């Protein structure tokens, strides 16, 4: 962060004496097409990945969200009491919040509010390593604040402090808005510069076919890259959402004297914030030059069909829906024979960690490349 004024109150930036205590809140709309349970579990995983301790959860069933406070007003009072009892420091709200609902809920429950998008942005901020990645995340964070009227008082990890501390008053917000706009312009220019440099580097790359791993976050894309690349793999692997942010490219031998360039990419998630898609668009649209996409799913997660559909939606938004794609079902070491047999017949079954099916995957890539070449 170049502008110190955009940062959080320095008093709050000192190392927290204990992890932040989060109370999770959700409105359950009992939508049969999109049941709450799997998405709420994912939300909790996102919360934990930011380093908070979850001290409780409040879920309210409603036919519609309350236009004023999101939850009903009685529920808002109940949340305030629970938060006090549990000594919570931050409210993490699952559902999308309009600016007005955010302000009203913050009045009813005097705690900073962090929503799902802010969590995702926070994790991205913690994990971005490359200059381009860091610029992209900061741009996404600022754009999100701009469109949701959130002042810089909400400290996300890279700005120091924990996730979500008190927002500033109105006047500060006005000043912030001008500064944020100026910073957004500057970041945009810096990103253009970094991207030009990267494009120059990339054009020096080899002629081997280009294959990209895509898929939901935490399904094992980086593990597969490591397995396929052998000793040269060393991509970062972790059991947490968004371990990989920066694209990695490795040369991989696929047999018959042939190699490919294999790219690892940032994982996707349901309703990936549009600010992030826009900020990462340039990186993601590079997938357009891929000859084949390997769509990796975690077949051991009962929720994988939903995850697969989300990834396909995002690929569509990136105009990549028509790419040649192989479906790769990973983590089959966790499945019994019956569960394996129930997977789609065209899928390639593998386990990156148990080193199972990797030769089949190599052969499938070779075969598909041959089909493409003869087409």
Ligand X SMILES: Nc1nc2c(ncn2[C@@H]2O[C@H](COP(=O)(O)OP(=O)(O)OP(=O)(O)O)[C@@H](O)[C@H]2O)c(=O)[nH]1
Long-range contacts: 197-201, Cβ < 8 Å, 24+?
198/132
Interface stretch with ligand X, choices 196-204, 240-248, 283-291, 305-313 (CB under 6 A) = 240-248
Cβ neighbour number for residue 104 with a 10 Å cutoff: 19
Determine which residue in the list 55, 83, 237, 287 makes contact with ligand X, applying CB under 6 A: 237
Question: Is residue 334 near ligand X by the rule CB under 6 A?
Answer: yes
Question: Is residue 243 near Mg ion by the rule CB under 5 A?
Answer: yes
Q: Smallest distance from the beta carbon of 128 to ligand X, in angstroms?
A: 12
Q: Smallest distance from the beta carbon of 273 to ligand X, in angstroms?
A: 15
* Count of residues touching ligand X (by CB under 6 A): 23
Question: Is residue 333 near ligand X by the rule CB under 6 A?
Answer: yes
Interface stretch with ligand X, choices 22-30, 113-121, 281-289, 325-333 (CB under 6 A) = 325-333
Question: Is residue 339 near ligand X by the rule CB under 6 A?
Answer: no
Q: Smallest distance from the beta carbon of 317 to Mg ion, in angstroms?
A: 21
3-state SS class at 149: coil
Query: In this complex, which beta carbon is closest to ligand X, that of residue 91 or of residue 120?
Result: 120
Question: Is residue 280 near ligand X by the rule CB under 6 A?
Answer: no
Tokens (6 digits) for 21: 């205590």
**356: DSSP letter:** B
Interaction partner, residue 141 (ligand X, Mg ion, none; CB < 5-8 Å by kind): none
Q: Among 190, 192, 188, which residue's Cα sits nearest to residue 140?
A: 188
Query: In this complex, which beta carbon is closest to ligand X, that of residue 138 or of residue 298?
Result: 298
Decide: 153 and 172 in contact? Cβ < 8 Å: yes
Q: Smallest distance from the beta carbon of 12 to ligand X, in angstroms?
A: 29
Query: In this complex, which beta carbon is closest to ligand X, that of residue 83 or of residue 349?
Result: 349
Tokens (6 digits) for 197: 């440099």
Whole-angstrom distance between the N-terminal and C-terminal Cα of the chain? 50
The residue behind tokens 């040649």 is 324
Q: Smallest distance from the beta carbon of 310 to ligand X, in angstroms?
A: 13
Cβ neighbour number for residue 67 with a 10 Å cutoff: 10
363: number of CA atoms within 13 Å, CB side?
Answer: 7
Cα separation, 147 vs 154, whole angstroms: 14
Interaction partner, residue 24 (ligand X, Mg ion, none; CB < 5-8 Å by kind): none
Binding letters toward ligand X, positions 203-222, x by CB under 6 A: --------------xxxxxx
Cβ neighbour number for residue 256 with a 10 Å cutoff: 9
Q: Smallest distance from the beta carbon of 265 to Mg ion, in angstroms?
A: 8
Cα separation, 112 vs 107, whole angstroms: 10
Question: Is residue 270 near ligand X by the rule CB under 6 A?
Answer: no
Question: Is residue 222 near Mg ion by the rule CB under 5 A?
Answer: yes
> Which residues lie closer than 8 Å to 374 by C-beta, 6 or more apart?
none
Alpha helices by DSSP H, listed for 86-169, are: 99-108, 116-127, 131-148
Cα separation, 113 vs 79, whole angstroms: 12
Interface stretch with ligand X, choices 25-33, 73-81, 234-242, 309-317 (CB under 6 A) = 234-242
- Nearest-Å Rg of the Cα atoms of the chain is 22
Determine which residue in the list 244, 248, 283, 307 makes contact with ligand X, applying CB under 6 A: 244
List interacting residues with ligand X (CB under 6 A). 217-223, 237-239, 241-244, 267, 330-331, 333-334, 351-354
List interacting residues with Mg ion (CB under 5 A). 221-222, 243-244
């Amino acid at each position: 962060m170049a502008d110190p004024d955009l940062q959080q109150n320095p008093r709050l930036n000192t190392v927290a004496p204990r992890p932040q205590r989060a109370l999770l809140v959700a409105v359950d709309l009992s939508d049969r097409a999109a049941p709450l349970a799997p998405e709420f579990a994912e939300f909790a995983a996102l919360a934990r990945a930011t380093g908070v301790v979850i001290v409780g959860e409040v879920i309210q069933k409603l036919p519609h969200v309350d236009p004023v406070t999101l939850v009903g007003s009685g529920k808002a009072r109940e949340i305030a009491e629970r938060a006090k009892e549990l000594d919570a420091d931050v409210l993490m709200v699952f559902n999308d919040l309009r600016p007005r609902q955010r302000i009203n809920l913050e009045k009813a429950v005097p705690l900073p509010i962090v929503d799902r998008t802010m969590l995702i942005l926070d994790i991205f901020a913690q994990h971005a390593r490359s200059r381009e990645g860091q610029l992209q995340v900061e741009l996404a964070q600022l754009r999100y604040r701009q469109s949701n009227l959130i002042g810089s008082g909400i400290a996300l990890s890279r700005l120091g402090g924990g996730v979500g501390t008190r927002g500033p008053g109105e006047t500060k917000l006005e000043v912030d808005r001008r500064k944020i706009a100026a910073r957004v312009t500057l970041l945009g220019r810096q990103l253009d510069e970094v991207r030009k440099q990267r494009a120059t580097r990339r054009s020096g790359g080899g002629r081997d076919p280009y294959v990209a791993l895509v898929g939901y976050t935490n399904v094992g894309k980086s593990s597969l890259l490591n397995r396929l690349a052998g000793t040269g793999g060393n991509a970062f692997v972790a059991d947490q959402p968004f371990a990989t942010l920066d694209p990695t490219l490795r040369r991989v031998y696929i047999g018959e004297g042939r190699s490919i360039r294999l790219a690892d990419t940032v994982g996707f998630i349901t309703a990936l914030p549009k600010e992030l898609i826009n900020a990462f668009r340039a990186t993601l649209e590079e997938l357009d030059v891929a000859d084949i996409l390997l769509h990796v799913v975690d077949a051991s997660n009962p929720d994988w069909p939903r995850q697969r559909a989300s990834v396909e939606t995002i690929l569509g938004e990136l105009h990549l829906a028509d790419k040649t794609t192989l479906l790769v079902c990973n983590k089959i070491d966790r499945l019994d024979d019956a569960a394996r047999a129930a997977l789609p017949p065209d899928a390639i079954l593998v386990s990156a960690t148990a080193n199972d099916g990797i030769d089949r995957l190599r052969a499938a890539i070779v075969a598909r490349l041959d089909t493409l070449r003869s087409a």
